[in-house]
Amino acid sequence: MTTEFSDFRDDFKHEAQELLPEIQECILSIEEDSNNKDAIHRLFRAMHTLKGVSAMVGYNDISQFTHHIENTLLNVREETIPVTKDLINLLLVSQDQIKMMIDGEGKSDSDLIKMIIASFDTLLPSKKEQKVSPIKQESQKQRTYDIKFKPYTSMLTPSGIYLAQFLNEISALGECTIKPQPQEIPEEINPNQCYLSWDIKLKTTADLLTVKNSCDSFKTMSETNILEESLEAQEDHIPKIGEILIERGQVDPEYVDEAVEYQEKIKKVINDSKEQKIPDGPSAKTNTESVRVSSQKLDHLLNIVGELVIAQAQLNQSNMTSNKSELSTAIEQVERLTGELRDCMINIRMLPIGTTFNKFKRLIRDLSNELGKEIDLITEGGETELDKTVIEKLFDPLVHIIRNSADHGIENPDKRIKNGKAKKGSICLNAAHRGSNIVITIKDDGAGLDQDAIRLKAIEKGIISKDTQISEKDIYSLIFAPGFSTSEKVTKVSGRGVGMDVVKRSIDALRGTIQIETEKGKGTCLSLFLPLTLAIIDGLLIEAGKNFFVLPLEFVEECLELSKETFAMSDERNIIALRGQLIPYFNLQEAFNLSKNKSHLGQIVIVNFNNNVCGIVVDEIIGNYQAVIKPLGDIFYSAEGVSGATILGDGTVALILDIPKITQYAVQKEKEFVSQKQIV
């Protein structure tokens, strides 16, 4: 890569990564509605931007390829070629090819590119077949545009390629007069910065949208204002309103001249005001503009904020030990600012999940064609925000779930009609906030899970024995076992028994849980319960067996004293009676083999996850604690009941308890006890 372009190619790749999903979304929107003019215009502008910017940074193959696509889209926009399935397929293949070219530093398979271009050319009408559409007839009228082009000082490169590209783009549209404006050139200049602006008068048959598209490619590097001055037919002169009034004798010519002179003064004031507001560079933009920051920098900043939270906890601990009242006010101020900084950092990392949802529209389209099924993807709650790391790690599990729903869940069209269903199946993706969690549901209207088939396959695989008594809920959970699949044959889509295993592992790694609801013949719904962030949580610090633990505060309902009378009523079972309800409990000392505190039975913390309630027996409840989550490492991957660790103010390590797993364990153990009693 030459040094001439190396600094700009990274910026181009970032911009392309934002444009490619938009391109795919537009293509699929056009497929759904061929009359969606907005999607056609957006797709044309995106391809035009890719063409212009790729040429600027020396990716000529990408620029030439997108030029052919843009030419086809121009005909689509002018309604000279129809939107067909072949066109949609070509556009999607082209989008994939552009992504491969960008990932490969502009390199491409020349034979494949030629084949795609030739396919586009076959769709274009010959000159004899071309019909002049109303849009094209309108574009034959002569227009005059006043364009004020002011690049940011940072736009100029040593080769001046950005400026040359822009001026060439505009000049190609028609008769062009370009005047430089040197008023803002300082006495001392930097040769690598641009201080000029240009006034451009363009006479063209192109409409305003076409001119705007040419300027949009440079919108991130300049301030460009376009004013349509007049609209004149090439062969006829359209009289102005002043001429009509004079001809009718309704006004005198001198009044019209005075009005025009006054209008010119107003126009000059407005234009001068606009010029004064033009910023000198991207940093001078309004506060509503976004700034592109690499994810590595955000991750590093989050780590720093996490360490700051730990340091602030250490400061609190030291002050409690030294009991210096003069420091209390300052420490409280630091604690408040640290909390605000933490919340601000978490909000910065939040992204709407809708962008990820939109990526699955293409997946569903391809799966529908491959499986010979008709499937509609419905997305809801796309505006729901989630930590960017969670979104990134959530993509693969969602792919596996959607592929399984399409292959195993949704039936063939003939079978659906026979069962009284609509010919087209549906998969609904939904995201919503629930407390401090995000719940993502994937629901299909397919055949549902077959309980008997799952049980038989589990026995065949040796996962359970033939005599094992297992609940309906646990039977459905068997689909997450490694190597488990009810499919009779292996296809390109599924059947190898690895997909749902990957889903379970990925969701566990995100400190999330999965819940299955299904009805045979009606469909299946998988609900993923995920934390908003993987970095910092509000917790309840407790002590058990001279060890410290943190309970995520979102699951805690209440804290109670565990008296001897309460324990005596348990009938040697791990249950307590609370307001007429029997609640199972989890004893940390017994479960983790900790040293027991014989002085008293301790306290119990009542936790609730997804309406499953249980108690956790502890020695002492210390209080609220803001925990910075630290991963345990691969060696502790199989550790049950803990989801991470945190560092306390005195440097002690405290384990963060996995409440969903502990709750599930306690409730299941009580069910097994009751079941055994009934058998006896």
- pLDDT tens for residues 101-141? 888 765 667 888 888 888 888 887 764 455 444 444 444 57
CA atoms within 13 A of residue 73's CA, in its CB half-sphere? 28
| Residue 496 in tokens | 């190898």
pLDDT in tens, 473-505: 788 888 888 777 766 655 555 544 456 888 888
Structure confidence at residue 267 as a pLDDT band (50, 70, 90): low
Rounded percentage of the chain residues whose pLDDT exceeds 90: 15
- Measured distance CA(205)–CA(143) in Å, rounded: 6
* Beta strand residue intervals within 58-141, DSSP E: none
Kind and range of the H or E run holding 547: strand 547-552
Q: Which CATH number fits domain 135-280: 3.40.50.720, 2.30.30.830, 3.30.70.1110, 3.10.20.520?
A: 3.30.70.1110
Sign of CA dihedral 320, 323, 324, 328: positive
> Of the spans 286-295, 331-340, 398-407, which averages the highest pLDDT?
398-407
CA atoms within 13 A of residue 475's CA, in its CB half-sphere? 20
| CA distance to 149, 188, 360, 414, per residue, from 195 (Å) | 12, 11, 46, 68
- Measured distance CA(118)–CA(121) in Å, rounded: 5
- Measured distance CA(568)–CA(547) in Å, rounded: 26
Let me know if 353 is exposed, middle or buried by CB neighbors in 10 A (0-12, 13-18, 19+): buried
DSSP 514-530: EEEEEETTTEEEEEEEE
DSSP 584-628: EEEEHHHHTTPPP--S---EEEEEEETTEEEEEEESEEEEEEEEE
Query: Residue by residue, what is the 3-state secondary structure of 399-418?
Result: HHHHHHHHHHHCCCHHHHHH
pLDDT in tens, 166-214: 777 777 778 888 888 877 777 777 776 777 788 888 888 877 777 777 7
- Measured distance CA(587)–CA(520) in Å, rounded: 39
CB atoms within 10 A of CB 573: 15
Give the closest residue to 444 by CA, choosing from 415, 481, 411: 411
The residue whose two tokens read 């009718």 is 248
Q: Are 481 and 446 in contact (CB under 8 A)?
A: no
pLDDT in tens, 301-353: 888 888 888 888 888 777 777 767 777 788 888 888 888 888 888 888 888 99
Looking at residue 680, the DSSP 8-state letter turns out to be -
Q: Helix (H, G, I), strand (E, B), or coil: what is residue 427? A: strand
pLDDT in tens, 379-390: 999 999 888 888
Give the closest residue to 486 by CA, choosing from 447, 431, 530, 442: 447
Q: Which CATH number fits domain 3-130: 2.70.98.60, 3.40.50.620, 3.40.640.10, 1.20.120.160?
A: 1.20.120.160
Give the closest residue to 588 by CA, choosing from 566, 561, 619, 562: 619
Tell me which fold the domain 536-679 belongs to.
Answer: SH3 type barrels. (2.30.30)
Q: Are 39 and 24 in contact (CB under 8 A)?
A: no
Length of the chain: 680
Looking at residue 630, the DSSP 8-state letter turns out to be B
Q: Are 436 and 531 in contact (CB under 8 A)?
A: yes
Lowest mean pLDDT among 156-165, 196-205, 464-473: 156-165
- Measured distance CA(275)–CA(148) in Å, rounded: 9
The b/e string for 399-424 (b: 16+ C-beta within 10 A; e otherwise) is bbbbbbbbbbbbbebeebeeeebeee
CB atoms within 10 A of CB 332: 12
- Measured distance CA(223)–CA(276) in Å, rounded: 12
Residues in Cβ contact with 414 at an 8 Å cutoff, skipping those fewer than 6 apart: none
Lowest mean pLDDT among 25-39, 250-264, 270-284, 529-543: 270-284
The full set of domain ranges for the chain reads 3-130, 135-280, 295-349, 351-531, 536-679
| CA distance to 226, 346, 555, 642, per residue, from 437 (Å) | 47, 14, 10, 18
Let me know if 658 is exposed, middle or buried by CB neighbors in 10 A (0-12, 13-18, 19+): buried
pLDDT in the model for residue 126: 63
Q: Average of pLDDT values for 405-420?
A: 91
| CA distance to 182, 220, 424, per residue, from 67 (Å) | 34, 21, 37
| Residue 661 in tokens | 């797993």
Per the model's pLDDT, the better-predicted residue between 625 and 235 turns out to be: 625
Residues in Cβ contact with 389 at an 8 Å cutoff, skipping those fewer than 6 apart: 299, 349, 534
- Measured distance CA(301)–CA(295) in Å, rounded: 10
| Residue 444 in tokens | 């299909």
- Measured distance CA(633)–CA(425) in Å, rounded: 42
Sign of CA dihedral 35, 37, 39, 41: positive
CB atoms within 10 A of CB 66: 25
* Angle 392-356-218 from CA coordinates, rounded to 5°: 100
| Residue 370 in tokens | 């491959």
Q: Which amino acid is at 509?
A: A
pLDDT in tens, 427-461: 999 999 887 678 999 999 999 988 888 888 888 88
Q: Tell which phi-psi region holds residue 155, choosing left (phi > 0), alpha (psi between -120 and 50) or beta.
A: alpha
Tell me which fold the domain 351-531 belongs to.
Answer: Heat Shock Protein 90 (3.30.565)
| Residue 340 in tokens | 């605000």
User: In whole angstroms, how large is the CA radius of gyration of the chain?
Assistant: 33
- Measured distance CA(326)–CA(651) in Å, rounded: 24
Strands 375-380 and 425-434: parallel
